[in-house]
Structure 1
Amino acid sequence: MKKVMLVDDEILIRESIRECVDWEKEGFIYCGDAPDGELALPLIEQQLPDILITDIKMPFMDGLELSSVVRQRLPQIKIIILSGHNDFQYAQTALRLGVEDYCLKPFSAADLIQLLHAVSVRIDEEQRLKRRYAYTPEKLFADLCGGLIGTAAAIEAADQLELQLTTSYYAVAILSLSPSDPQDTEIGHEAYRSAQQLLDERLGELQDIFMYKRSRTETVVILKGSLREELSSKMKAFTESLQIKLKAAFNCDLSLSLGNVQDRLQGIHISYLEAEEEKTWKKISKQNKAALWESSFDSLTNRVLPDRNRLVDFLKLGSSKEAPDFIRQFTAEMSSLNWESMYAYYLINDLTLELVLTAKRSFQTGGNTEDLMKDLQQQIRNIASFEECQDYLLTLLEQLWKWRLEGSDKYGELIDKVKLHIRQHYDDDQLSLFEISRHIGVSSSHLSKIFSQETGQTMTEYLTFTRISKAKELLKTTRSKTFEIAFQVGYNDQHYFSNLFKKVTGLTPTEYRKHGFAEDQGRLAREGGSNL
């Protein structure tokens, strides 16, 4: 039963339509009428009709104005325009506004019923298609990762699926199952099924994740939460604990490829691409390790096992000044290598992959890594001596340290400016992201993203921390009333300030002052006793 509402300034037309149609028999409910658009709007919002019939020419708010407002506020409502011959130009305008159809005056009840049934059929067809193409959770997650759905549409789809999608931070992880033995081309069917079942069970125990199967051996996990640093650490700990069990029970490896944490829903796509890139790098690295292992059995090869962890640590913490001595010590055992062997090539290539992947993860900056690796692998092919190997590793470290420098210095000055401005103006109740970004000279969206990425907290969180810290100081050192302190640290509303203070500290301002006074009394008593 579709609900129908009528808007026409002529009472005779309203009464005629209301009385001349057997609404229930025709499959409709007549839910009301109004003499003009202005009076109709609240009725429309209250009754939510499926079909709205409106005249074009009416006082106060005409049919075109009403149609425009309804199309914006309630786009699901189908609109039929009543139009005289002289108003047909208006009817064409209405159709361009998105009105469903029009009916020329004069018209019979049969004409109107035929038109209503035609619109009703269209409504049914739209609903059928909507049900047919409705999102499943898996399709929603896949489209978010693929960047195929906008924020508003994603939130609407999640609401229909009763999923809590929105949060502060997001990250994407790709979990891949593979055989532990490089000689195995694939995991046995039974072993894989058991390993996958265990993985699914353990993932089901985790909170604040969504997941979908991307292939037979790959699961994509969308992590969400209110604390940035928890997302990646939670997934790494989960993978490490499960990896041991999978290897022992099913001879399977579980590989984790993780994208960076993002603070917007659309950032899920970025994090997914980063996870996909890391997965590709890990695959290349694994293939290289297999080739390195195979080449190590060559009778002409002198195998060495340099400490990769030591090299990685030096990449993260070392300096150009220390590099020559470090490389001399690190490569000492490599001096006896046969530099014409494939083993030497795969060994240097393996070290290179480890360093570049570590730099990409740790420094979160850099250019086109694919082009860089092509260039580096060409350089590796040209290494023909121990000295050339040392020079290559020194050059590689210097190149990757440029990324580290970019990551540490790129936004440091900008973040310092933001923090200084907040510390100097925290007492301004009008202080906002927009005002700060205008003062700093960058866009508010860019500044918000950079501040969150670099500090691990939003600008609002930092401003709140600054204000509450100053309020704690004032509560301890002055006799100012709570509302006075609230005003001094940038809050006009005493109740809001008190609630926020308790949320942050666990105490009301009054309780905090008493607690601080008691602490001071105890400290003075202890100091007095020690002086006796």
Structure 2
Amino acid sequence: MYKVMLVDDDYPVLELLSEVVDWEARGLVLCGKHENGALAWEHAQDEPPDILVTDIGMPKMDGLELASRMKGLNPSVRIAILSCHSEFQYVQQAMRLNVEDYLLKDQLNPDDLILLLDKFKAGLDGERQMRQEQIQMKHLVNETRGLRKEKTFRNFIQQPLISPGQWQREIGSYGLLGAGEHCLPVIGYIENYGVIKNRFDSDQTLHFALSNVMEEICGTFPLHTVHIGYSNRQSLLMFGYKPGIKTNVHDQVNDSLRSIQHTLAKVLKIRMAFLTGLGCGSLESLKQMLSGLTSSEEQRFYLSEGEIAKWRPDVTQSKGLFEFYDQAGAEIREALIAKDEAKIVAIAGRWEALIREARYPSEEVRDWVLKLLIDLRLKLHALLYTSSTSSAESLHKEIVHFDSQRGLFQWLKAHLQSYVAVREEGTPMSKRREVTEAYKFVSLNIGRRITLEEVSAQLHMNPSYFSRFFKKETGQTFIEYVTCKKIERAKELLDQTNHSVNEICEMLGYDNQSYFIKTFKTQVGATPTEYRG
């Protein structure tokens, strides 16, 4: 819809013009009717029109001055002068202002105005389409350039350095490793990748959005900075500098990384952790450093959320975590049987701290956590009312997303808490298997966004039919039930943990914190902050 503003000190004319046009049918909306140019200009500051139809002779500000100001505010605005004046000097002034048409009131036919508005709209449509095509072309060019850069650095890291001269030109084309220059590489990791990617349509959309923001931020840094989207969850940053500068390079890099963290959290609601490498003065040392950074899975696994740490070669880690497996399983199983959620969280937290201190290999930790959950489901099968086969399959699929110990143990705690929730709900109370399965699905996935289509697909039912069926059996819609359970969980987290409202919002799969707060207040009668007191 394009916005139209009418301005004339003759009120009957304003009323006539506003009533003879079916604005909505023409893809237009009347955003204002004003009796002088000053009022119109004041309104335009908040809501600039796309089309302006104005008289010339008006008090406080005439139509020509208004037209001039409107062009300055919005160069693409379409303007028609509607006046009793037919003198040449007025027409001449209007033409100098690039006014599109000049209509005389005493000769005006409403159909002429409608035809003029249609012409204006067609012109605006053409400009809009051209801008969209230009934006798409720019995105395509940027995306192609970005993909080429990513391929260049990926090949540089992974392939033998057979032609140093060619690689020197390739790397130099990005402003790196020029004469007398060094490069300090950094690798960044997206935190909570499994949650973040669900907010975007695809990995490609997330990758493109992140790259766009990164490119814009990097252009503001004092050091020449190049961003490379190395993988879906990893970014490389190359900081170019000349050795011997008075300012500490590592301090400048760390300041830049904190700026990136702040901007990404604000714009995309993405958090990143970083490993900073060592300064490199040659292709060989840069290649070696990048290889070390991109293969630092073990050091990344134990990074705290948002941590900026210095890279170090991975030290040899001793295995032996499974020596404590039976002890951990017995402790958690006992707390589950007692339905003591606080104790379960405390036990999981204690084991998380012990594992972090010992620094067991990440693959061993994943296997340990996965076996723990699968065994608990098998041993408590009768209590949890779950299918052990499907559960094991889903756990295998989910665990591959975690490249950090923190994320892995958040996932473990969420599953353990869901086990308690399944038991406390009294899931088997429903006589209909489909309702029971829906209850279980919600309990086991309370930490992410749940849709009607998703659960109905799990039950092999048509979404519309399942919606009616669930409402008939339970007395509430499926979405109402999910919302209720999420808010119950939010209250527990507010009561029992020190997580911020924003963290709880993300832990429950809400993309928008304002929506979460509004939903919470509707259900509870107070905001999360007020509830926590």
Q: Does TM, normalized by the shorter one, top 0.5?
A: no
What TM-score comes out, normalization by structure 2 length?
0.31
Q: Give the TM-score taking structure 1 as reference length.
A: 0.31
Indicate the structure (1 or 2) with the bigger Cα radius of gyration.
1
